[in-house]
Amino acid sequence: MTFFDSSTWDGRISSGGWVRGGGGSADVVEPATGNTIGSYGVGSTEDVSRAVEQGRAAQREWMALPYPERSAVFRRAGQLIDDNADVLSDWLVREAGSGRGKAAFEASLVSGEYFGATAVVEAPYGQLLRTHVPRLSMARRLPVGVVGVISPFNFPAILASRSVAPALAAGNAVVLKPDPRTAVSGGLFFAEVLREAGLPEGLFHVLPGGADLGFALVEHPDVRVISFTGSTAAGRKVGEAAGRLLKRAHLELGGNNALIVLDDVDVPAAVSAGAWGSFLHQGQICMTTGRHLVHESIYDEYVERLTATAAGIPVGNPATTEAPLGPVIDAGQRDRIHDLVTRSGEAGARITTGGTFDGLFYRPTVIADSGMSHPAFAEEVFGPVAPVAKFSTVEEAVALATQSDYGLALGILTRDVMRALDLAERIPSGIVHINDQTVDDEPTAPFGGVGASGTGSRFGGVEANIEAFTETQWVTMQGEIARYPF
């Protein structure tokens, strides 16, 4: 039997094995064609309760295992993903509408998360503290128990894995609710990987479903940490619910990221970077370059070259063509993109190319002469749209860049890197790339935003992952019972 054969999981959830979900089943729909290419099980609130109960029981035994045994699970999982990268990539292409290059890149990132999780297992889990009395004083990190993960559709494999892998590695059980539009590549595939890698049964559950299922996970009293990646609007609701219950919620939300192009750049190189930042995966990335801020001395050339580049990018079914851009995820997202583009044109911005679609295939779009009065510039589009604005001074560039509630990623293009570093200090952002566009991520690097983009860096690197998915406990030990005046 081939790895991840659909006959084992079709129409099922993963919760103590492949079982029927309490919510029935739903079709896996290929956005490029509208065809049904499989089915997945839909979880229910009762499934959430059973999964958490199983997770609590399994977590105690998991944490008691010697660390080399736990570490080996993640090495095997990483190797399984590498060995079956073509399987994962194919699902990313067909289910998420990913171009083949993007899908292959995502699959390589995912295996890195599981290999990297071994470092979380093997890392020091505490520190010795100074104390004013003759005793041993230490702080140690302990798993929280059960972690709830809610992940999105756009990069479904990596955005689930960067929470699932370190949370398990830190000694927890995990209940994952993937976006139902990418239930396979964002969830069920990893249930099979981890089962094959030897993860004990009951530790990892995949329950696809809607918002009701997500909030059942947030509300469950035995889920002590929520890791949510998604829209800012949904993230606010998750944060509010978690705060009321005094539980931690790590929120990685949206962005409207600026790319500042200073006057001393190589314009063709800058345009290449800007086009990649705006159009990769149809612009459906939280780090997408949502605003091109270009110095007036090169503005016209930049717009002309970016327009030509966008007009020349092929768009098509990534499963049957070599087109780098595929479909957006669904009609609702397409209509929202088109509404923002259309209203921006009506408000006076200049659409130099694109602004049209065929089915779910939206053409790469450039909107020149953009500003805060234009919806596609002021809001997160989550589509293949590149609004371009002009500035004359660095102060004006800073003002434009900070005219946003978001603070996820920032790109600065210039020959003077120290000038760029100084500029970056003036613009709140969780991520800054000097002489690169805004879309970048590595398993070993901290990832997260500020403001409406989330609650800071909670992903990437051993320290961040341990902090995210454990609790701190202070312990003192002394040889005799302490004596007191009464």
Catalytic site residues? 252, 286
Give the Cα separation of 260 and 293 in Å (integer): 5
Q: What gap in Å lies between CA 389 and CA 348, rounded to an integer?
A: 13
At 46, list the tokens: 């009762």
Amino acid, res. 216: A
Enter the tokens of residue 42.
């839909």
Kindly provide the residue ranges of all beta strands, DSSP E only, lying in 296-453, ordered along the sequence.
350-353, 357-358, 361-362, 365-368, 385-391, 406-407, 409-413, 431-434, 450-451
Angle formed by the axes of helices 67-83 and 100-122, to 10°? 170
CB atoms under 10 Å from CB of 128, counted, come to 9
Q: What CA–CA distance (Å, rounded) separates 373 from 383?
A: 19
CA separation for the pair 462, 342 (Å, rounded): 45
CA distances from 101 to 56, 106, 318, 326 (A): 39, 9, 10, 11
Vertex 132: Cα angle to 131 and 137 (nearest 5): 20
Residue 102 CA to residue 197 CA, distance in Å, equals 26
Pairwise CA distance, residues 71 & 8, whole Å? 27
CB 197 within 8 A of CB 74: yes
Q: What one-character DSSP code corresponds to residue 315?
A: B
Q: In the structure encoding, which two tokens stand for residue 268, read together?
A: 């063709």
Q: Are 221 and 422 in contact (CB under 8 A)?
A: no
The three-class DSSP label of residue 362 is: strand
CA-based radius of gyration for the chain: 24
The alpha-helical segments, DSSP class H, found in 170-298 are: 189-197, 211-219, 232-244, 267-279
Instruction: Enumerate residues 6+ apart whose C-beta is below 8 A from 308.
Output: none
